[in-house]
Amino acid sequence: MPTLSELWDAYRMRWTRRRLLFRALRKRRQLKTFRDHTKAIAKNDILLFACVRNEEARLPYFLDYYRKMGVGHFLFVDNGSNDATSDILDAADISVWTTDQSYRLSRFGMDWVTWLQIKHGHGHWCLTVDADELLIYPYHETEDLHALTRRLDRDGKRSFGALMLDLYPKGRLSDAPYVPGEDPTQQLEWYDPTGYPTKYQPPLRNMLIRGGARGRVFFASEPERAPTLSKAPLVKWNRRFAYVSSTHSVLPRRLNNVRDPKDGKIPSGILLHTKFLNVVVEKSSEEKMRKEHFANSELYNTYYDAVSADPVLWFEGSAKLGSWHELQAHSLMSSGHWLPENTDLLDS
Does the structure show a pLDDT above 70 at 300? no
CB atoms within 10 A of CB 195: 13
The C-alpha torsion from 124 through 130 and 131 to 134, rounded to 10°, is -70
What count of residues does the chain have? 348
* Per-residue pLDDT tens digits for 119-164: 999 999 999 999 999 999 999 999 999 999 999 999 999 999 999 9
Query: By three-state DSSP, how is residue 136 classified?
Result: strand
DSSP state of 182: S
* Per-residue pLDDT tens digits for 34-79: 999 999 999 999 999 999 999 999 999 999 999 999 999 999 999 9
Distance between CA atoms of residues 250 and 76, nearest Å:
20
Helix (H) or strand (E) holding 13: helix 4-27
- In the prediction, which pLDDT does 287 show? 65
Distance between CA atoms of residues 59 and 283, nearest Å:
16
- In the prediction, which pLDDT does 190 show? 98
Distance between CA atoms of residues 135 and 148, nearest Å:
11
Distance between CA atoms of residues 84 and 259, nearest Å:
38
Distance between CA atoms of residues 47 and 43, nearest Å:
11
Distance between CA atoms of residues 134 and 129, nearest Å:
8
Q: Is 106 in contact with 77 (CB distance < 8 Å)?
A: no
- In the prediction, which pLDDT does 263 show? 66
CB atoms within 10 A of CB 33: 10
% of the chain at pLDDT higher than 70: 93
* Per-residue pLDDT tens digits for 204-238: 999 999 999 999 999 998 899 899 999 999 999 99
- Nearest one of 267, 270, 251 to 259, comparing CA atoms: 267
* Per-residue pLDDT tens digits for 254-267: 999 998 766 678 99
CB atoms within 10 A of CB 278: 18
Distance set, CA 243 to CA 103, 114, 131, 144, 340 (Å)? 16, 7, 18, 24, 31
Does the structure show a pLDDT above 60 at 297? no
Q: Is 161 in contact with 231 (CB distance < 8 Å)?
A: yes
